Structure 1
């Protein structure tokens, strides 16, 4: 069986699209997933399964959430090896930073650098971003909530046609740990 993390976008934020984690775990158990667990209340779940691939598992979970809770939710599913590879490829000195200063935006598919060509990297320093494999790394020394660069990177025209969901570095590392094994 392969261990995965499911990243649900935009749930339990601002009082809307409520999805209790206990109910999400029960839903995932009902789909036949093994070793189901959740992390925090903001849409991270881990599980194991021997069937499907990342895209089909994401679609299956999104469909089940819509049927059970009555709203659509974007879901990205990534396996342990991918999550670990993203962390290992981080272009910033993660070990020397606070978790709130470093973020990874996971994309549903590969993204061309040209999509972000309109952003002038020098105008946001010391904030910086780099593209990776279906991921974007953001260094925001004052945190995501104060980041002007994060605001620009999340504009709808830049993410059009993609599912994009961002996690801080602490969550990135925790998902690697939780998907490492039972």
Structure 2
């Protein structure tokens, strides 16, 4: 059976925008979504494809969250195949051995203007690296994302699209859930 994966942005981070895992499951099921699994507290919901395009699922989830919790939460949805393609497109296969050092920023659309990213002097941030591939931005920080100056610059770069970040462990666990 085909699956969709909802990625909620900015919930349960630093004690803000509380939306517990159990409530995420309850809300998804109350919308009629089937075979729902929630990974972690940070807004990762895997469910049977409801037969709607991902963009429609995004809007429905965001509206329900706003109506029931009073929270404005951006939601990005990927199909199982889109998530598998993002995993396969990883431009840093050597980083998989240290999955906490690799992050994927999921974007609502491919940015129309990448000039700010293109202008970065990557040598100044070595060994950290990033690659933008369609609707995913991969960020590899061998020394950890918390100390990465590149991660800070990239996260502050406005691309004109909605974005939410997941580490490689979470990305691959979501794919495994979608394949279960």
TM-score range, shorter chain: over 0.9
Deviates more, 1:67-76 or 1:50-59: 50-59
Which stretches of structure 1, 4 residues or longer, exceed 3 Å deviation after superposition?
none
CA contact (8 A) 2:130 2:138 kept: yes
In the aligned structure 2, how far is the partner of 1:63 from the partner of 1:28? 12
Query: Which residue of structure 1 lines up, in the alignment, with residue 140 of structure 2?
Result: 139
Q: Following TM superposition, by how much is the alpha carbon of 1:54 offset from its aligned partner in structure 2, in angstroms? A: 1.0
Asked if residue 165 in structure 1 is aligned to residue 158 in structure 2, the reply is: no
Number of positions where the alignment pairs a residue of Structure 1 with one of Structure 2: 179
CA distance in structure 2 between the aligned counterparts of 1:178 and 1:57, rounded to whole angstroms: 18
Judged with a 3 Å threshold, the aligned counterparts in structure 2 of structure 1 residues 63 and 28 are, in CA distance, closer, same or farther, namely: same
1:158 CA displacement: 2.1
TM-score by length of 2: 0.94
* Inter-CA distance 62–100: structure 2 relative to 1 (3 Å threshold): same
1: CA distance, partners of 2:134 / 2:171 = 15
- Which blocks of at least 5 consecutive residues in structure 2 are unaligned? none
What pairs up with 1:84-99 in 2 under 5 angstroms?
84-94=84-94, 96-99=96-99
Counterparts of 1:24-43 in structure 2, within 5 Å, are 24-43=24-43
Deviation at 1:117, TM superposition (A): 1.9
Quote how far apart the aligned CAs of 1:118 are.
2.5
